[in-house]
Structure 1
Amino acid sequence: MTSAATSAPGATEDPGRRLSSEERRAQIILAALTVFGSRGYEGATTDQVARAAGVSQPYVVRLFGTKENLFLATIEFALSQSLSALRTALAASDEGGENPMGKRVGEAYVDLIEIPGLHQTLAHAFLLGGHPAIGPAARRAYLAMWRFVRDEMGLPPDSAREFVAQGMLISTMIGVRIVDDYGSNPEVAELFQACFPNKLGHVLDVLPRGERGL
């Protein structure tokens, strides 16, 4: 699966060409995913995002206004990228019954780890339900994922609950950085093998760990 990050506007631009404001906006949002993902909403600053994006802090403020607006735009982007990847997997062939819908969509969800900070940023958003602006946006994102599973995948409520619960388990594993204990804790190894039976090596290569995730 091609990473959605590489297909985002401005991600593979000609270095000699001046970026449009929309391309620069996408570049900043990708940087914001990484910063918010590693530091959370409260711990991140627009200056950190600007440095990660290679632009000035006043430019970030000019495009987004406030850190809150930037975080809301980042949630919207993360949700859009997630649903796009899941819909692509849903529409793919089942290859004669050997690649069923649940497996395709589940693996596409795992593959979203290739966009640094996406899972973590959504997890941070889901913890801010009491925030007057972020809370409603987080609830809309959560319910959009539920509607995808119920309406587009067509799963009945019990199966949908199990599918979403598996996704939240994976997101929680990423968020708590349990990968840092992989190799030293047999329980962690068992958990990873249970959750990523077909993609374990790839997941271990891509997930942020130790200083690499800061």
Structure 2
Amino acid sequence: MTTPRTRMPAAARRTSILVAAAEVFGQRGYAAATTDAIAQLAGISQAYVIRSFGSKEALFIATAEHVLDLVTDAFRTAIAEADDTRRIEPLLGAAYVRLAADRGALVTLLHLFTLGQDPRIGPIARAGFLRILAILREEAGLSMERATAFLGNGMLVSTILGLQLPAESEDPATAELLEATFRENTPLVRELFGGRDLDG
């Protein structure tokens, strides 16, 4: 007698599609990604992906919103863990580095912020960026000067990780750049990314 297969709940299946989509968008970029590749990675039919989201554009928007939720959740967790206001920024930085270890999430976020001119995606990118700023200002209690410095460093962090520079950390100039950028989180970056291909 065969055991009946357990049907995955709709919410869990949607999340699995978004995780697969982030990986494919991260590997191929928005233009080259296909709903077929996303469906294959998620282990479902392309028809189900289209039925669930309607189009590649709508799927990218949902994926970007999912990644933005991951960022805001990670930041809120870091803020809750901070027992000293001086520790907030290093904890926020470590939370972002851990999130960026998922290359799909990192590159999806980078793609999102380069599509500001797109009539449908641009408003979501701007709203997501401003939501992160609001968390830094209102929940983390950072001044605008500290918040903008943190965001500026975050863009540098994203660029460094997107370029896979930690894999070149034996180069003296690269090692110095990593230390200057990640500061107290440099050991975490070396643990998560150092000496390996970030696609691995």
- Into which bin does the TM-score normalised by the smaller protein fall? 0.7 to 0.9
Q: Structure 1: how far apart are the matches of 2:188 and 2:172?
A: 19
Which residue of the other structure, out of 112, 121, 128, is the alignment partner of 2:99? 112
Which residue of the other structure, out of 174, 187, 191, is the alignment partner of 2:173? 187
Match of 1:48 in 2: 37
1:188-208 deviation per Cα after TM superposition (whole angstroms, max 9, x unaligned): 222222233444454345449
* Residues 50-199 of structure 1: pairs in structure 2 closer than 5 A: 50-94=39-83, 97=84, 100-183=87-170, 185-199=171-185
Q: Please identify, of 64-73 and 16-25, the stretch whose mean Cα deviation from structure 2 is larger.
A: 16-25
Taking structure 2 as the reference length, the TM-score comes to 0.87
Q: Structure 2: how far apart are the matches of 1:69 and 1:191?
A: 38
Q: Structure 2: how far apart are the matches of 1:103 and 1:201?
A: 12
1:18 and 2:4 correspond: no
1:27 and 2:34 correspond: no
Q: Structure 1: how far apart are the matches of 2:40 and 2:173?
A: 38
Q: Structure 2: how far apart are the matches of 1:51 and 1:201?
A: 36
Q: Are the aligned partners of 2:93 and 2:185 in contact in 1 as well (CA < 8 Å)?
A: no
Q: Are the aligned partners of 1:113 and 1:207 in contact in 2 as well (CA < 8 Å)?
A: no
Q: CA deviation at 1:144?
A: 0.8
Q: Structure 1: how far apart are the matches of 2:75 and 2:12?
A: 24
Amino acid at match of 1:59: Y
Root mean square deviation, CA, Å: 2.2
SS of 2:130's partner is helix
Q: Count residues with an aligned counterpart.
A: 195
Taking structure 1 as the reference length, the TM-score comes to 0.82
Gaps of 5+ in 1: 1-15
Q: Please identify, of 24-33 and 189-198, the stretch whose mean Cα deviation from structure 2 is larger.
A: 189-198
Q: Structure 1: how far apart are the matches of 2:38 and 2:136?
A: 33
Q: Are the aligned partners of 1:120 and 1:174 in contact in 2 as well (CA < 8 Å)?
A: no
SS of 1:100's partner is helix
Q: CA deviation at 1:82?
A: 0.7
Q: CA deviation at 1:19?
A: 0.4
Q: CA deviation at 1:17?
A: 2.5
Q: CA deviation at 1:107?
A: 1.3
Q: Structure 2: how far apart are the matches of 1:47 and 1:91?
A: 40
Q: Structure 1: how far apart are the matches of 2:86 and 2:145?
A: 22
